[in-house]
Structure 1
């Protein structure tokens, strides 16, 4: 009986062995077919620098804890918040005057002003003031175009450590807006629809706070804001009510040249133009690197040239921010272009890529609309075009 019972178990063992062999064959087939697919997916994703491996770009000094807390400006401080006026009627014999917060009635009657013309307020950046080169150059450029020019003097409030300076901006914006609203109330002809603001770096965020406060006071939006690589540090992670936003004015244009360093990558304007991808620029001396500060300031030189060459800086629309970074907008359908500068088509909203050369006057015209002329990669290819180099 024991022998018989043992014999009866043998077919069961054989059946199990056959099932094991079948499972092994199926697993082998599975690995043979799917392993290359899995390998290719993993490899491809690694080649694309997985965000889980490399992380997301955080940007320089993205958060500044405590800098959104309020400040109060004293009466003495408000006397040091001033607007320098260079009206369209200014001649070489007249003295350029600065008017503080308490002198707006006098400013409204400045004899150089022609309120029938457009007026621009320019605000420079960190540690700057309206007597330095940037403001003087903008004054000259806009005067040639027939504008009245205002230069905001806020140097008392921007000569401290950077996070503290950024905390001052909402108050600066509020009180500057009160100064402009005072002009509106005087009925001297100041018209917010003929008024524009241009801000460089920290000034690119300051114009936002002025525009927000002016709208709150008057119920009317300012016509145009142009932000030249507006500051990202301490503003990058804020919401639209605490930084530059397209809701601030009828039209907001943002030009980015160092978006992950001293600028901001988020497309916060109606038209957002990223020069050479927006991250780093080419140096005027091509073999020297143009790093963070150099790339940040390059926007000023490009805007200066755009004011003088208004039909020459032609940008290409992109579908995404990543396409602009990658300089990969040439094949977009439909192919849409726009101009950097005062002749921009304000109805063509979105993200734009603009190629430039590495030295003044920087523009490429229609040549810049073709991939084969893309400057950065072609310059690098030309550097190492030889197949073999003997050293």
Structure 2
């Protein structure tokens, strides 16, 4: 599938998790098992890279980011806003500051045509009258993973600055803005949210990238302080995606590691992409992904949490009434929701 973060760990640690009130997997902080990884580029080439190498370029400029506006009146042909020129939004006959605005941010080796953007944008506009702004940071995202990862904070600041300017120029409040980000895009969303003067209504983190991020360092990743409410959907934890709880509510379909129907999924691409496929189905097709508050997937499978709180994973307006870790199962193919 185009545009998924195709990394597979060269060293796999099988340390068990510690279950507390929120999930925490020790390997994300305590074990240097992510230093050497097999990287598969968009062209299909493979090489082992050292993620601790000093030979990493971490350089991004505001012109690396382009914004593409879609609405019900221009579903396929976007209005383009270059870098931070917020005034270009007013040129569009489609932008309406009175309506809610959703930002969608892709991950590594992608651009504005990525599957996450296409599917989530189409789902949102099929059911809601919104402004959808797709964030393209492909000049940096197309570089090596280490370069892209090191630019996440800078790209997030550029996006956050754009949203601040939009709020000031058009009198928009944070409650009118939501951000969706996949993989590295989830952490860009978090960095954007951290500098927005009026906290955005919600951020949905879709399998936030794991390599080179840690639980302890919240300065470069998504965390609950980045929006009024942060929902996270984990689909390839311990591999491409973050496995520990990093939102107000964290959802673990099929345990959050390997997704039903993805087979062995050695490179993790199938499971990594399911996060945005689930969200698109929940928004566009009304898929009801009912999840249960529980201490672990094992406890959920053994029906030890049957009487616990329930919550629906994914929506244009997420369930903000809950906090904690939620588990559910899905079907192996679309429609994925089991109700």
Alignment gaps of 5+ in structure 2: 1-14, 18-24, 37-50
> Which residue is 1:40 aligned to?
none
1:200 to 149, 167, 182: 182
Shift of 1:311: 5.9
**Contact 1:119 1:150 (C-alpha < 8 Å) held by counterparts:** yes
254, 261, 264: which one aligns with 1:283 = 261
Q: Does 1:147 align with 2:130?
A: yes
Q: What are the equivalent positions in structure 2 for 1:1-391 lying under 5 Å apart?
A: 57-58=27-28, 61=34, 64-65=51-52, 71=58, 73=60, 77-90=61-74, 95-144=77-126, 145-186=128-169, 188-214=170-196, 218=197, 220-283=198-261, 288-291=263-266, 292-310=268-286, 312-318=288-294, 320=295, 323-324=296-297, 327-328=300-301, 330-332=303-305, 334-342=307-315, 344-365=318-339
Query: Could you tell me how far 1:327 is from its partner in structure 2?
Result: 3.9
Aligned length: 297
| Residue aligned with 1:83, SS | strand
Superposed CA deviations along residues 297-328 of structure 1, whole A, max 9, x for unmatched, are 1222211111134362100111x2xx125644
Whichever structure has more strand as a proportion of its residues is: 2
State the 1:269 CA deviation. 0.6
Whether the aligned pair in 1 keeps the contact of 2:103 and 2:180 (CA below 8 Å) is yes
For 1:241, what is the secondary structure of its paired residue?
Answer: coil
**Change over 3 Å in CA distance of 1:91–1:84 after alignment to 2:** closer
Kept in 2: contact 1:324–1:351 (CA 8 A): no
Task: Find the residue that maps to 2:191 and give its secondary structure.
Answer: helix
CA RMSD of aligned residues (A): 2.7
Distance 2:303 2:284 in 1: 26
Identify unmatched segments of 5+ residues in structure 1. Answer: 1-48, 366-391
What is the TM-score normalised by the length of structure 2?
0.79
In 1, the alpha carbon distance for the partners of 2:95 and 2:162 equals 16
TM-score when normalising by structure 1: 0.69
Q: How far did residue 344 of structure 1 move? A: 4.0
Q: Contact (CA 8 Å) 2:299, 2:305: kept in 1 or not?
A: no
**Contact 1:125–1:202 (CA under 8 A) maintained in structure 2:** yes
Larger Rg: 1
1:98, 1:361 → 2: CA distance? 33
Contact 2:68 2:133 in 1 (8 A): yes
- 1:134 Cα deviation (Å)? 3.0
User: Does structure 2 conserve the Cα–Cα contact (< 8 Å) formed by 1:317 and 1:329?
Assistant: no
Higher RCO by CA contacts (8 Å cutoff, separation 6 or greater): 2
Q: Point out the structure with the larger helix share.
A: 1
